[in-house]
Structure 1
Amino acid sequence: MAELTSGSQEEAAVGKEPVPAARPIRTPAALFRRRVGQHVRWQWMVWRTVIDWTVWVYVFIPAALYGGSIYRHWWKTPPEWMSNLGTGTIAAVFAVMLFSMGRLRTFIEEPDAIMLLQRPKWLGGLRLRGAIYSVVWRLLFAAVPIAVTLVWSTQVKLLSVGEIALWYELTAAIAISAISLRSIVEANLQGWRRTILLLAITSLLTIGYTWLMVKMLGGNGSAAGSEQAHPAGLGAAAAVAVVAAIAGFWLRLRFYGTLQADIESERASRLTLSSLILRQVAPVKRPRPTRTRPVLFSGSGRLIRGNGQQALIADSFMKSLLRKMEYVRLLLLFYVISTIALLIAPGWIAGICALVLPIIGTVWARDRFEGWMDEPFIKGFAWDAGAVRAGMEKALLYLLVPLALWLGGLAGWKMTGVAGAVLGIGFGYVWLAIVLVPLLLFASEIRRQKQQRAE
């Protein structure tokens, strides 16, 4: 029998360094160990890209200490909200976590395809060992939510150790059945049929498990007002689930599909963590034609009337800002968030918010204006410093007067009613036009003079 000495592409040499001779692979077990080792190293490299010592020091360790302290306190005195936590809610969360993810691993990669087709026993050995590996991990994964909710199950539901063990046995068996069925479907179906069938299986398992837990453990969270647990029924359900898990495991090994399906399934499993970490990275796509005509103010007409430089500057900045939809969305979002903040705040706090929120909007608009003035095309014109200052003031007022009037009127209405709304509108205009904008312009002028002296 030929000896295998090649690993996967992850073991390729880099540069001109000599490649050490790989240990020959003579058995399916040796190939399986090689693939598991490569998988562990790959996952470790992925985790190292996002987790370093600072994450441990500032996130994980404090979170573990704080979370452990809270959990210890819960063991002594369960919080009141835990008594209102129903069995159906717990079961539904468990089902979504355990039944909608995962598949039976095979650890079959593309470099192994030709060799495995020539050695059917090796192919079957890899599938069997990969399935056992997946079952062991699923047993450990199913124990995590059971362990986390021990406070609820022992202190609130008053379940015994035997009942918790049967609950775990039932949950783990259904989870194993779920990954077996998922693997069978993915290996034998494609396209929309596979998607619909997977969704149907997950939904049925979730609904059935939730209903069964409510019947076996009682529906309500408090032990006093809930039905008593049914150990006999729970044990019978666990036994049936174990038989179903064994049957699903055997069916997966029997209806394994094609070798290419196993390779694609293994690739998807191996890259799950990488895809999760890199989900915010935009994929490289073919360039598409973009819309060059702006949605708002696509014409060349003036928004701000006037013949001086200040009117031209204010008008050009307003159109430049409002023609970019990301800025328009940001302004609308700021208006909405500010309105919600005033609506949920008490009267006098709403008045403070009506003073503070326009400051945030004015500073943002001032920064956008200064960035716009620093653009090469705009800097190419010989603008008068006074005209620039007046143009900034005019643009800020046009942008933020509606916000100041709206927030002032809303705060006044919350404090004293309709009369307060009228006074608030006037006060909002005075606060923005007479106090806030001149102060920001003064600060911008001082900063500009400092920059000129530094240059």
Structure 2
Amino acid sequence: MNAGRRFRPAPLALSRIARFWREIWKCWRLTLDWTVQLYIVLPGLFVGANLYRDVWLNPPAWLDYANVQAVFAVLGMFMLRARVRTFAYEGDGLFLRRSGRWTKNMLHIGFGYTLLVRMLTAAAVLALLAPVLDLKFGWNLAIAFRAGLAAAFFGYAWTMARDGLERRLSGWRRPVALWGARIAFIFAWTAGMTAAVAHPVGLASAVFLLFIVSLLLALLRLRAKGTFAHELTVEGEAYSACIRFLFYDSGGLPKLPRRRKPLLSFSRLRLPGPRDTDRRAAELWLKAKLRDADNLQALLLFAVLGCAAVALSPVGLGLAAWPLIGLVALLWFRGQWQRWAAERFVAMLTWASGSLERAETIGVRAMFMPLFLLWGTALGCKIGLSFGGLYWIAVWIVPLIGWPAGWRGASWIIDGLRNRERKRREEDGKRREEEARHREA
């Protein structure tokens, strides 16, 4: 392809598509060397092909429990993973995006690529489900073709709807709207296709209706303006999604810049009490930890594991496990505080004497007490389920007793650990002084 033809909308978009998949293949080729192919990939393909063949020749017992709703639900869930691809580059903002002809033609190719990928995905899923479709429901090739075409248009309509929601919403409203739309789409798809597949005219009508809806949503997307930044974000996330498994937890995958508002904002977080330096420092620590996704996952893990430990154990063991789990969480929170206090932007500030120590107690208790009360509530529910009747009052009594116990216990433990560290530092300082005197002598 010469330079004159390459720098036209269609050849340029096609070259970007080819380059994208070349880069994905190069990343995967680093992992899929001959040893992985020989000992993992080829045996896996052989075993999978044999299992697929056995389902055809010897239908398993679980086929009797399969229903057409499950087939369309599985097919729909695969379609809901799609996004609109435009293969936009950051350099396009210099001059390409100023030309409506370039933008329109490249969007047409991106939309066509999105629909083609939906068709291939639907065909692959139907091919894997072919034994169920043939042996259980008696589908022929014509029914499977129409169902696959309907699934492709359904996935294409979802990409347009998802793109519109992501462009218009931000913060916590975006995931709420997306998950609500997913649930609505999958229920409408499953119910509508289950009713339509029983009649050839109904299935053809469903395909035509989905085609019209997809076309209308695509026309609305073409008329949208100010989408360049969103398209860049989508392209970066599409590339990272294809290779994230290779670089998982290795640091090899760079973090993408966020072009949207954070999911949760804690800018207005205030702790009760006087607005002094101690509480302001504790609020800084709380905001830093609550904005970190890894810390939020750890908090969720603590909450789930703690509730399971006190609720799934016998009542006596749950009473003993409650403070022990609280102690583990308290030690973890204190470690998080010490790492935060040692960071440069905190250490460089001038703090009043003892201010950080008091702020540590305030901040750690503010993080610890909601978890501790949640575990107490789970323990109260366990007591109510075990004994019934008036024992359900434990749902209220146990947290009420746990509040002062956890509040005082957290302060005592933090102060005790801090005093122990202070004594250790003093002993180390005295020992170093004695060693220095011995060397001088």
TM-score scaled by structure 1?
0.52
Pick the aligned partner of 1:39 from 8, 20, 38.
20
Alignment of 1:94-133 (within 5 A): 94-99=75-80, 101-133=81-113
Q: Which residue does the alignment assign to 1:80?
A: 61
Superposition deviation, residue 44 in structure 1? 1.1
Runs of 4+ in 1 over 4 A off after TM superposition: 22-25, 282-285
Pick the aligned partner of 2:216 from 247, 253, 266.
247
Q: Distance in 2 between matches of 1:251 and 1:284?
A: 33
Higher helix fraction (1 or 2): 2
Q: Does 1:49 align with 2:18?
A: no
Q: Does 1:272 align with 2:236?
A: no
Q: Distance in 1 between matches of 2:226 and 2:173?
A: 16
Q: Distance in 2 between matches of 1:279 and 1:92?
A: 29
Superposition deviation, residue 39 in structure 1? 0.6
Pick the aligned partner of 2:189 from 177, 200, 209.
209
State percent identity of aligned pairs.
25
Superposition deviation, residue 33 in structure 1? 2.7
Q: Distance in 1 between matches of 2:65 and 2:161?
A: 34
Alignment check: 8 A CA contact 1:188 1:257 kept: no
Q: Distance in 2 between matches of 1:114 and 1:216?
A: 49
Alignment check: 8 A CA contact 1:142 1:175 kept: no
Q: 3-state DSSP class of the match of 1:190?
A: coil
Rg larger in structure: 1
Alignment check: 8 A CA contact 2:193 2:206 kept: no
Cα deviation per residue 1:240-284 (whole Å; 9 max; x = unaligned)?
112112222222222254322222222222222123433333699
Q: 1:84 to 1:276 in 2, by over 3 A?
A: same
Q: Which residue does the alignment assign to 1:259?
A: 228
Alignment of 1:344-383 (within 5 A): none
Alignment check: 8 A CA contact 2:96 2:102 kept: yes
Q: 3-state DSSP class of the match of 2:86?
A: coil
Q: Does 1:196 align with 2:176?
A: yes
Superposition deviation, residue 57 in structure 1? 1.0
Alignment check: 8 A CA contact 1:103 1:179 kept: yes
Q: Does 1:173 align with 2:153?
A: yes
- One-letter amino acid matched to 2:249: Q
Alignment check: 8 A CA contact 2:97 2:103 kept: yes
Q: Which residue does the alignment assign to 2:200?
A: 231
Superposition deviation, residue 118 in structure 1? 3.1
Q: 1:239 to 1:120 in 2, by over 3 A?
A: closer
Q: Distance in 1 between matches of 2:254 and 2:14?
A: 35
Q: Distance in 1 between matches of 2:188 and 2:20?
A: 34
Alignment check: 8 A CA contact 2:83 2:162 kept: yes
Cα deviation per residue 1:130-189 (whole Å; 9 max; x = unaligned)?
111111111111111111111111111112322222211221111111112112222333
- One-letter amino acid matched to 2:38: V
Q: 3-state DSSP class of the match of 1:49?
A: helix
Alignment of 1:404-443 (within 5 A): none
Q: Distance in 2 between matches of 1:107 and 1:63?
A: 33
Superposition deviation, residue 204 in structure 1? 0.7
Q: Does 1:63 align with 2:32?
A: no
Q: Distance in 2 between matches of 1:94 and 1:104?
A: 19
Alignment check: 8 A CA contact 1:187 1:257 kept: no
Q: Which residue does the alignment assign to 1:137?
A: 117
Cα deviation per residue 1:92-148 (whole Å; 9 max; x = unaligned)?
22222211x121111111122112133221122221111111111111111111111
Q: Distance in 2 between matches of 1:26 and 1:170?
A: 35
Superposition deviation, residue 196 in structure 1? 2.3
Alignment check: 8 A CA contact 1:46 1:273 kept: no
Alignment check: 8 A CA contact 2:115 2:153 kept: no
Q: 3-state DSSP class of the match of 1:104?
A: coil
Q: Which residue does the alignment assign to 2:430?
A: none
Q: Distance in 2 between matches of 1:172 and 1:258?
A: 24
Cα deviation per residue 1:196-248 (whole Å; 9 max; x = unaligned)?
2222221111111122233345xxxxxxxxxxx32222222222112112222
Q: Which residue does the alignment assign to 1:161?
A: 141
Cα deviation per residue 1:38-77 (whole Å; 9 max; x = unaligned)?
2122111221233221221111211111211221222223
Alignment of 1:256-405 (within 5 A): 257-281=226-250
Q: Which residue does the alignment assign to 2:340?
A: none
RMSD: 3.2
Query: How many residue pairs align between the two structures?
Result: 262
Q: Distance in 1 between matches of 2:145 and 2:15?
A: 35
- One-letter amino acid matched to 1:252: R
Q: Distance in 2 between matches of 1:118 and 1:43?
A: 30
Alignment check: 8 A CA contact 1:184 1:256 kept: no
- One-letter amino acid matched to 2:203: L
Superposition deviation, residue 91 in structure 1? 2.1
Q: Distance in 1 between matches of 2:153 and 2:235?
A: 22
Q: 3-state DSSP class of the match of 1:281?
A: coil
Pick the aligned partner of 2:7 from 4, 26, 39.
26
- One-letter amino acid matched to 2:78: M
Alignment check: 8 A CA contact 1:170 1:238 kept: yes
Q: Which residue does the alignment assign to 2:270?
A: none
- One-letter amino acid matched to 2:18: G
Alignment check: 8 A CA contact 1:35 1:107 kept: yes
> Structure 2, unaligned stretches of length 5 or more?
256-283, 286-301, 314-441
Q: Distance in 2 between matches of 1:126 and 1:256?
A: 15
Q: 1:205 to 1:284 in 2, by over 3 A?
A: closer
Q: 3-state DSSP class of the match of 1:238?
A: helix
